[in-house]
Amino acid sequence: MQKQFYFDRFESRRPYSSIPDNKYRTLLFQFAGIITIALGFAYLNWRWRFSLNPDALWFSIPLVTAESLSFISTIMIVITFWSNKDAEKAPPVHYLSEIEDIEDAPDRPVKIDIFIASYNEDVELVRLSIRDAKKMAYPFSDVKIKIYVLDDGRRDGRDLSKENMKKVAEEEQVNYLIREHNQGYKAGNLKNALEHTDGDLFVILDADTRAFPEFLIHTTGYFKKRTVAWVQTPQWFYDTSEPEKLSSVITSKFKIVNKKINGIIDLVFGKIKVNEDIFGNEPRLFYDVILRRRNFHNAAFCCGAGSIHRREAVMSLAVKSFAEEIKKKELELVKKNKSNPEIANQKNSILLDQELIPFMFHASEDIYTSMMLHSDKWESIHHPDVECKMLSTQDLDSWIKQHQRYAEGSLDIAFKDNPVFKKGLTWGQKIAYTSTIWSYFAPLWILIFLLCPIVFFFSLTLPVKAYSFDFFKHFLPFQIMNTITITLGCWGIATKRGDQYYISSFWYMLMALLSVLSGKKVKFNVTQKDKNYSNSIRHVLPHMALIGLSLIGITYNTMLLISGHHPLASGFVANAFWTIFNITALSIMIRAAYWKPMEAFN
């Protein structure tokens, strides 16, 4: 009997359709973007030159610095969202000569490998992915499609306490690859697979990635352009939480059984729906806007699962890196004044020790490898349509670990191999990669934005000279245009949850930043895909503290206002609105920490 999973009830869900391109909307976005940037410069010029409170520079300068840093993000967003340029779709490839220069070699049908990378996931979950991979259709029967389970957990039956992945692979009649160590984590696992296979194209799937039957038909055609190194498809999470009736949440949480009270609660709150996509996992904003727009700059990076690659590209990168590494080591020997025979001797041993590494051994191997390939003049394509489905993180603990890994990995690239100074990248690519990395510095300014109203409430000092006409004259046009620009850029996509998570994840991102700055080694945490309703309260203590301080501050200031002793009534009103916005954003993390689906309550 097939194992039951929590996501079985979501099997009937269908993916979203990508937003149709509209050139007039793009032009409107560009127009609005230019105005936003101009207004932003005017606002910051006024802020730095005329608005600082000379009696409280300790407060004024951090805020205006935070605003300036945040404005850099706005500029990069306008540039990276500038235009949409979906690649032209093409029919699937049949022969190798369609995608490679084979010169005098005899032509043959292409070979395609499908890699399902696994570490410790439930084998029955992997079985579902294998079965869906087997259902992948292809119009040419002579094209060989081989499926490989890449087991990095050594679950071949040797350890009886572990599930037997090898047995499942055998039962499903697919290939099984294993290695004796976990060096390089997922990148190492893929490297091992490439060493044991020979497909011209290979698909990367995670243990929970369920490819749709037409995955290959829709993606292989792009490789007819010989400079295309990989095609990424959107990762669609089909198990995000459904909206719940607020009345049901209240009655379940407080275990109210009285029918009359339940009826009243239902009457009052019955129409309000909450908790839809409580973990902000809906990836549409990222895949349908952020990554898709990067096609314009040839800067769409690979996100691992749901991508298809040209073997030649990653192997050429591996060979190049190999040669560079040997050269570097040889130079080190020369610097140490070693004699020629000694150098030749040691070079041989280096050659033997040095490995070919197709995917960078890094916590963010996908983005790092993408950057290396882009700098080597390869092209990437972000395919707009969903071709597979995946599982999302189901508890806050896993969510935090996953996002901290993304943050630490990206920040690590910034400090070790910064895209701004990377040779071979175009300016568009440099800005796109920097934009991704820059977003992980956001906690620095978000923290200031969160603390400012609290500081005002307790110090009764303004970070600006005054919330005067001049302030609003500069601030409002910029903010309004900024909102219009983002709305046009993300047309058709709800951004509310994403905005909330951008702000409320500040603490974890700050920890990630500090971890990288302190030189800690970035770990590759495998994302947990099982449900784990562990107590996550410790994760939201900073959020609770900030909300608590804000509420105390508002109460204290209200009392001052009522008693007629508040010296800055306009400042209070402005900061109260600001606080409400902050609390709304922060509260999502607390709700996520306490969230359990209805059946878990029952």
Partner 1 sequence: MKKYNFLWKPIFYIFSILFAAWLVNEIEKISPSNFGMQKSPKIFDAGNSDHQSRKQYLKSLFVNYRAGQLDSAKLDEKLTLFLNTVENSSNKNSP
Task: Answer yes or no whether residue 128 interacts with partner 1 by CB under 8 A.
Answer: no
Tracing tokens 């499609």 back to the chain, one arrives at: 145
Q: Which stretch binds partner 1 (CB under 8 A): 152-160, 438-446, 459-467, 583-591?
A: 459-467
First to last CA, the chain: 26
Task: Answer yes or no whether residue 568 interacts with partner 1 by CB under 8 A.
Answer: yes
CA 110 to chain centroid, in Å, comes to 32
234 vs 463, beta carbon nearer partner 1: 463
The least distance separating partner 1 from the CB of residue 478, rounded to whole angstroms, comes to 9
Q: Which stretch binds partner 1 (CB under 8 A): 31-39, 100-108, 183-191, 323-331?
A: 31-39
Task: Answer yes or no whether residue 74 interacts with partner 1 by CB under 8 A.
Answer: no
DSSP code, position 223? G
Instruction: Let me know if 161 is exposed, middle or buried by CB neighbors in 10 A (0-12, 13-18, 19+).
Output: exposed
Task: Answer yes or no whether residue 462 interacts with partner 1 by CB under 8 A.
Answer: yes
Tracing tokens 């407080």 back to the chain, one arrives at: 254
38 vs 494, beta carbon nearer partner 1: 38
Task: Answer yes or no whether residue 474 interacts with partner 1 by CB under 8 A.
Answer: yes
DSSP code, position 296? G
149 DSSP β-pair partners:
116, 176
Q: Which residues have CB under 8 Å from 96's CB, separation 6+? A: 102, 107, 108, 109, 110, 200
Q: Which stretch binds partner 1 (CB under 8 A): 166-174, 277-285, 370-378, 562-570?
A: 562-570
d(C-alpha 417, C-alpha 419), whole Å: 6
d(C-alpha 19, C-alpha 413), whole Å: 32
Task: Answer yes or no whether residue 458 interacts with partner 1 by CB under 8 A.
Answer: no
* Residue 234 backbone phi and psi in degrees, to 5: -65, 145
Sequential DSSP letters for 360-403: --STTHHHHHHHHHHHTT-EEEE--S--EEEPPP-SHHHHHHHH
Binding-residue total with partner 1 (CB under 8 A) = 26
Among 473, 496, 520, 538, binds partner 1 (CB under 8 A): 473
Task: Answer yes or no whether residue 34 interacts with partner 1 by CB under 8 A.
Answer: yes
Q: Which residues have CB under 8 Å from 573's CB, separation 6+? A: none
Among 467, 501, 508, 572, binds partner 1 (CB under 8 A): 467
Site string for partner 1, 322-361 (x = CB under 8 A): ----------------------------------------
Task: Answer yes or no whether residue 85 interacts with partner 1 by CB under 8 A.
Answer: no
The least distance separating partner 1 from the CB of residue 461, rounded to whole angstroms, comes to 8
Task: Answer yes or no whether residue 362 interacts with partner 1 by CB under 8 A.
Answer: no
17 vs 570, beta carbon nearer partner 1: 570
The least distance separating partner 1 from the CB of residue 462, rounded to whole angstroms, comes to 6
Q: Which stretch binds partner 1 (CB under 8 A): 198-206, 239-247, 335-343, 469-477?
A: 469-477
Q: Which stretch binds partner 1 (CB under 8 A): 233-241, 315-323, 470-478, 549-557?
A: 470-478
Q: Are 216 and 201 in contact (CB under 8 A)?
A: no
Q: Which residues have CB under 8 Å from 382's CB, separation 6+? A: 231, 232, 287, 291, 292, 294, 295, 300
Task: Answer yes or no whether residue 24 interacts with partner 1 by CB under 8 A.
Answer: no
Q: What tokens were used for 368?
A: 């790092």
Q: Which stretch binds partner 1 (CB under 8 A): 23-31, 62-70, 418-426, 545-553?
A: 23-31
525-552 per-residue burial string, b: 16 or more CB within 10 A, e: under 16 = ebbbbebeeeebeebbebbeebbebbee
CA 487 to chain centroid, in Å, comes to 20
Task: Answer yes or no whether residue 465 interacts with partner 1 by CB under 8 A.
Answer: yes
CA 311 to chain centroid, in Å, comes to 25
The least distance separating partner 1 from the CB of residue 34, rounded to whole angstroms, comes to 4
Give ∠ CA 297-300-303 in degrees, rounded to 5.
170
Task: Answer yes or no whether residue 77 interacts with partner 1 by CB under 8 A.
Answer: no
Among 226, 567, 573, 577, binds partner 1 (CB under 8 A): 567
Give ∠ CA 445-446-448 in degrees, rounded to 5.
65
Among 20, 54, 341, 519, binds partner 1 (CB under 8 A): 54
Among 8, 11, 21, 55, binds partner 1 (CB under 8 A): 55
Task: Answer yes or no whether residue 477 interacts with partner 1 by CB under 8 A.
Answer: yes
Which positions lie near partner 1, rule CB under 8 A?
27, 30-31, 34-35, 37-39, 41-42, 53-56, 462, 465-469, 473-474, 477, 567-568, 570
